[in-house]
Amino acid sequence: MTRCFAVAAVALGSIVGSAAAESPEPVDVESVLVPRALAPAHPPADPLAVRLVWVDPARAAAGVDALARDEARFLLRKMGVAVSWRRGEAGEAARPGEVRVILLDRGREQAPGTPVLGATPLRFEGTPFVWVHVPSVRAAAGLCPRWPFASPVAGSARALGLALGRVVAHELVHALAPSVPHGTGLMSQKLTCRQLTAATLPLDPEVGLAVQAALRGEPSLPPADTGTLATVTAGTNLQR
C-alpha cells in the first residue's frame, strides 16, 4: 500500500555570522559540495540558455537520472529557459557559466522529523550550485529510502525520477533568481507527495518571467535574507 509524506514544505534555514561555523551542511571532503576552482569556459551565447552539470559521485540516482534531468529540463523550458546537461565528476574544477546540481546520498534534517530535500545558498562566491538529498526525496515521494531495494510503489522509478527533477527545478529557480518568492505549483511553500509524483505540476508564469529577467541581468529585488533555501519534508504524517 502506497505511503507518502503528506506535505513537503519550502523553508529558509539561516546560516549567518558565527553560526556558519556550525552549519549542518555536510563537510565537503571530496570538493563536491562547493567547487574549489574554476576552469576556463565560454559563456552561453543565448542569455536564456543554462548549462547544468549533474554530479552524483555515489550514484544515488542511478537508473532514474535521465528522467530526472528530462523533467528539470521540461520545467525550465516552460519558463522560457533552454537547458543543456553534462555529467560532472567529483572534485573536478567548476566552469564559469555552469550550475552544478550535486546529488547527495545522505539525508539532512532542518529540525527533528523534518528532512531536507534540497538546498541552495542565497549567494555564491563562485559558480552557483544546488544540493539534492536523494534519500529524503525518495521518502517524500513515498518510496523506500534505500533505492532500489524493496520499493513498495508500482512505477517507483518514474515517481522517483519526477520527484528528483522537480526538486532540482525548484532549487535551480532559487539559484538562478534568488529574489523569486514562494508561490504556487512548483514553487509552493508546501509541496505534497502528489505534487512531487503527479503526471503534471503547475508552474506560475510569473516565475518564468522572473528567471528570464535574472538571466538577462535585469534589476530585481534583493533576497529577503542571507542563508540557505531548503526544500524540506515537514512532519511524519502518512497518507495511504
CATH number for the domain including 150?
A: 3.40.390.10
Residue 29: partners with Cβ closer than 8 Å, 6 or more residues away: none
What is the predicted pLDDT for the residue at 150? 46
Query: Is 14 domain-assigned?
Result: no
User: Which of 162, 144, 148, 131 minimizes the C-alpha distance to 66?
Assistant: 162
Distance CA 180, CA 183 (A): 9
Distance CA 62, CA 139 (A): 16
Q: What would the pLDDT profile of 66-88 be if each residue is shown by its tens digit?
A: 999 999 999 999 999 999 999 99
What is the predicted pLDDT for the residue at 173? 95
Which residues are 74's β-sheet partners? Answer: none
Amino acid at 98: E
Contact in structure between 170 and 150 (CB atoms under 8 Å): no
What is the predicted pLDDT for the residue at 4? 53
CB-based burial label for 145 (10 Å; 0-12, 13-18, 19+)? middle
Q: What would the pLDDT profile of 105-153 be if each residue is shown by its tens digit?
A: 987 777 666 678 899 987 888 889 999 999 988 888 888 665 554 444 5
Query: Is 23 domain-assigned?
Result: no
Query: Is 17 domain-assigned?
Result: no
Which residues are 65's β-sheet partners? Answer: none
Query: Is 34 domain-assigned?
Result: no
State pTM to two decimals.
Answer: 0.75
Which H helix or E strand runs over 102?
strand 98-104
Query: Is 13 domain-assigned?
Result: no
CB-based burial label for 55 (10 Å; 0-12, 13-18, 19+)? buried
Number of domains in the chain: 1
Q: What is the mean pLDDT of each run of 10 residues along the chain (240 residues)?
A: 44 30 38 46 68 96 96 97 94 89 86 78 86 90 64 73 96 92 83 87 93 87 51 40
Query: Is 162 domain-assigned?
Result: yes
Which residues are 104's β-sheet partners? Answer: 133
Please give the residue range of the domain that contains residue 136: 4-8+46-216+225-239
Which H helix or E strand runs over 238?
strand 238-239
Query: Is 95 domain-assigned?
Result: yes
Grid coordinates belonging to 211: 528567471
What is the predicted pLDDT for the residue at 110? 72
Query: Is 21 domain-assigned?
Result: no
Q: Which residue has the cell 522529523?
A: 113
What is the predicted pLDDT for the residue at 18? 32
Q: How far is CA 129 from the centre of its chain?
A: 9
